Amino acid sequence: MSTPVCIFWFRRDLRLHDNKGFYAALKSGLPVVPLFIFDKDILDALQYKDDKRISFIYKAIEAMQAQLQKEGSTMEVRYGKPRDIFKQLLQDYEVKAVHTNEDYEPYAAERDGAVENLVKSNGATFHLYKDQVIFAKDEVTKKDGGHYSIFGPYSRAWRAQLKDDNHAPAPSEKHLKNCLAQKSKPMPTLAEMGFEKVALPTLPTQWDKEIIKHYHSTRNLPAVAGTTKMGVHLRFGTVSVRQLLAEALPINETYVNELTWREFFMQMLWHQPRLVDEPCNLRYANIQWRNNEEEYLRWCRGETGVGIVDAGMRELNETGFMHNRVRMLTASYLVKNLLVDYKWGEAYFGEKLLDFDLSANNGNWQWVAGCGCDAAPYFRIFNAELQAKKFDPKDQYIRKWVPEYGTSKYPKPMISHAAAKERCLKAYKAALGAGQGVE
């Protein structure tokens, strides 16, 4: 007779420690079958077979698998469409319940609904938990129950609601013996899924407390190791946002503010999934973008003739990472100086960033373009060269990634900043309508 079990489905929470949904499953009284699905719907949409993110996920799964095997258990690692995988799992096991942590992206909501319906139709229960955020969905709202679309009031409300138990850990790592005892099972290989194993950039596996402590004074300096590089770990859940917040709260409000921005963009996308396809402020949908493909490709390659922009793009192309200040400058250059639709840049970052997160990427690109929920005004047009003098005064960052900078081999800028600014303001004013004034 088969053993009744529950399944815990890992997604954006690739860790065995401090995992809310996993902890609930382990404490449910049923043996737990850990599960990860390499989602064919997601993988088929990726552009590159050497996508660094797939290697990062695979490495994280291997580490979790090794830890589970020490406990006499194993993770079910499957490749396919989630609903099809669950159909098979419901035949392979006597499943009484499925536990998983919430995911707030539009595709995820649709996927989870389909799996939930299937699981319930087979007589099992389906449970969702909040894990990748401190506050989710409708937990931080206005007095009338509406959701915030301006960051300032949202962040104040977020901070006012924060209590110690919001970031209390869920000690799932202490209960791994409650996983179903079974022999290890082989994982699908990267090659079987159509991907190549690639070398990953050197990333910290844990935050540096000293960097958090001085974050407010170092975060804008791309030549300095002044950011924690926790973005990819937060994206895939290899670190706990609760533990990171608990570390940052007593020592750096600026860092806490960045964690709050992350949740602000997540709740915006949850409440307005249309933002994936259109600007928050629809008046900006009428901008006549130039969309010069050759200029766009020069931006992609890091050959614009503007040192800090090119350095950022080359860093991104080589490592899958770009410094946060430089992300803003490269985005602004594409949208405001070259008048290329922000969706082109958003998509390119979406293909290349190791820490790509749909809500943050979308929110930040719309912020730069001026069309977002709480955007920089359209007439704010960063002068990348002045920014470089301020934040990379000795050209250390630029020369690291653009060794030909300052030589005859380096191209001239495609357009002067003054001419680009004039052209940009003209295009934006035309789209927003004459006589509407400055916003």
309 and 236 within one domain: no
pLDDT of residue 164: 82
156 and 87 within one domain: no
| 439 part of a folded domain | no
| 18 part of a folded domain | yes
Contact, 137 vs 270, CB < 8 A? yes
| 188 part of a folded domain | no
Could you give the CA distance from residue 415 to residue 393 in angstroms, rounded to a whole number? 22
- CA 186 from centre of chain: 29
157 and 108 within one domain: no
Residue that terminates a domain, selected from 221, 255, 271: 271
| 19 part of a folded domain | yes
388 and 255 within one domain: no
77 and 164 within one domain: no
**How many separate domains does the chain show?**
3
pLDDT of residue 435: 35
pLDDT of residue 434: 44
Full residue range of the structural domain in which residue 362 is found: 274-431
Rounded-to-10 torsion of CA 139, 145, 151, 156: -70
Could you give the CA distance from residue 187 to residue 74 in angstroms, rounded to a whole number? 10
pLDDT of residue 52: 95
284 and 427 within one domain: yes
pLDDT of residue 2: 85
pLDDT of residue 438: 34
126 and 114 within one domain: yes
Amino acid at 252: N
pLDDT of residue 278: 95
| 189 part of a folded domain | no
| 190 part of a folded domain | no
| Residue 344 in tokens | 């082109």
Could you give the CA distance from residue 50 to residue 55 in angstroms, rounded to a whole number? 8
Contact, 341 vs 292, CB < 8 A? no
Residue that terminates a domain, selected from 271, 286, 318: 271
Contact, 8 vs 180, CB < 8 A? no
| 182 part of a folded domain | no
Say how many residues make up the chain.
439
153 and 80 within one domain: no
363 and 410 within one domain: yes
CATH of the domain at 152: 1.25.40.80
Kindly state the DSSP code that residue 117 receives in the 8-state scheme. Answer: H
Contact, 431 vs 283, CB < 8 A? yes
The stretches in the chain having pLDDT less than 50 are: 434-439
243 and 328 within one domain: no
409 and 284 within one domain: yes
pLDDT of residue 439: 31
| Residue 158 in tokens | 């977020």
Runs of H (alpha helix) within 219-340: 231-236, 241-248, 253-271, 293-301, 307-319, 324-332
Residue that terminates a domain, selected from 255, 271, 287: 271
CATH of the domain at 11: 3.40.50.620
| 436 part of a folded domain | no
pLDDT of residue 133: 97
138 and 123 within one domain: no
